[in-house]
Structure 1
Amino acid sequence: MTTTALGTLTWERAVDRPDLLAASTHAAISGWAVVDPTVADAVLVAAIDPDLADTAAMTDAYALPLSASVNCVLVAGRRAGEERTAACLVRATTRADVNNAVKRLLDVRKASFLPMDRATDESGMEYGGITPLGLPAGYRVLADAGVAVDDPAAGGMVVIGSGVRRSKIALPGALLVRAPGVEVVDGLAIG
């Protein structure tokens, strides 16, 4: 078992705990670990109470710094009848600049958050657990540059969803922004 000093949770290698991950998330992490063997030891998972999956409740319950949490929000917009979708990764202390940065990056007139039912149906993940690791093909994954910045309060780690509400993933922010398909964007987050 791997341990880390992040909050009061017990962290284990995610590749060893498929029971704590959405199937697509486990497949994404396992595939990434084949390409980059450091991933197997660096991407960790911890079980949580599913009723505490929302960021504010989780950080309070498990003594995690709010700045460690990275939210993954799904957005969409249209241009010339074509829908363009993206997952936006921003620290929980900020919010995604959907009306300016995301709209510009997707090259759409208006970008909006996906409704909860659609987000969970299309991602195959549970609300409160949506993660950039294992999203369906076709989603752009946009990460604010601040996600990679080492936060001493979090020991360089960030906490993200696991695809299910009953667990969370922790990994170095600098590693998350190097995950397959992630695009790092300056100014994606505001606040």
Structure 2
Amino acid sequence: MVECDPEFADTAAFCEKYGFPPEQSGNTILIASKRGEKKYSACIALAHTRLDVNHTVRDVMGVRRLSFASADETADLTGMMIGGVTPFCLPEDLPVYVDGRIMELDYVILGGGSRSAKVKIHPEVFNKMPTVTVVEGLAN
């Protein structure tokens, strides 16, 4: 666990303030479908990349239109604020997609469940989580 000032919880600010490289830092982002029955997923990508929401994320979720979940949706579904979302306390029915590049790292820094904490983990932990699917090309 890495404690941090909530003012520096956003990944770029956290990395600059605490000296962690963005290439070893990830963001857990909630994605929501736009049409029909609402579907959600959590996607984890490295801080220096962008989720491929228009292709890869859409395909793995099996929806045509999607967007980033709002701050309110994120808080309602996860109980966490943007900037502190961790993949380790999510609802059991929420799929988690991890960009394949993360699995190549010796560690990754992720949200710790609040804006005042981050966790430093070995990506191998994702292989032990039943809701996680590693997806090559999830982010560019």
Q: TM-score, normalised by structure 1?
A: 0.69
Q: Which residue of 1 aligns with 2:62?
A: 107
Residue of structure 1 equivalent to 2:129: 179
Q: Which runs of 4+ in 1 moved over 6 A?
A: none
In the alignment, the residues of structure 2 paired with residue 160 and residue 178 of structure 1 have an alpha-carbon distance, to the nearest angstrom, of 17
Q: Is the 8 A contact 1:145 1:186 kept in 2?
A: yes
Higher relative contact order (CA 8 A, sep 6+): 2
1:53 alignment counterpart: 9
Does residue 142 of the first structure (1) align with residue 92 of the second (2)? no
Quote the Cα distance in structure 2 between the aligned partners of 1:96 and 1:59: 19
> Does 2:112 correspond to 1:158?
no
Listed as ranges, the gaps of 5+ residues in structure 1 are 1-44, 151-155
- Taking the aligned partners of 1:67 and 1:180, their CA distance within structure 2 comes to 26
The superposition leaves residues 143-185 of structure 1 with CA deviations (integer Å, 9 ceiling, x where unpaired) of: 01111112xxxxx110000110111000012323443311011
Q: Structure 1 pair 52/161, CA: closer, same or farther in 2 (3 Å)?
A: same
Return the offset for 1:62: 0.6
Is this contact kept in 1: 2:99–2:138, CA < 8 A? yes
In structure 1, the residue corresponding to 2:23 is in which secondary structure?
A: helix
Report Cα offsets for 1:9-48 as digits up to 9, x if no partner.
Answer: xxxxxxxxxxxxxxxxxxxxxxxxxxxxxxxxxxxx0211
**Structure of greater Rg:** 1
The answer to whether the Cα contact below 8 Å between 1:74 and 1:113 also exists between their aligned partners in 2 is yes
Q: Is the 8 A contact 2:22 2:48 kept in 1?
A: yes
RMSD: 1.4
Equivalent positions of 1:10-159 (< 5 A) are 45-77=1-33, 81-150=36-105, 156-159=106-109
**How many residues end up aligned between the 2 structures?**
140
Identity of aligned residues (%): 38
2:32/2:66 contact within 8 Å kept: yes
Which blocks of at least 5 consecutive residues in structure 2 are unaligned? none
Query: What per-residue deviation string (whole Å, max 9, x for no partner) do you get for residues 53-72 of structure 1?
Result: 01111101111111111111
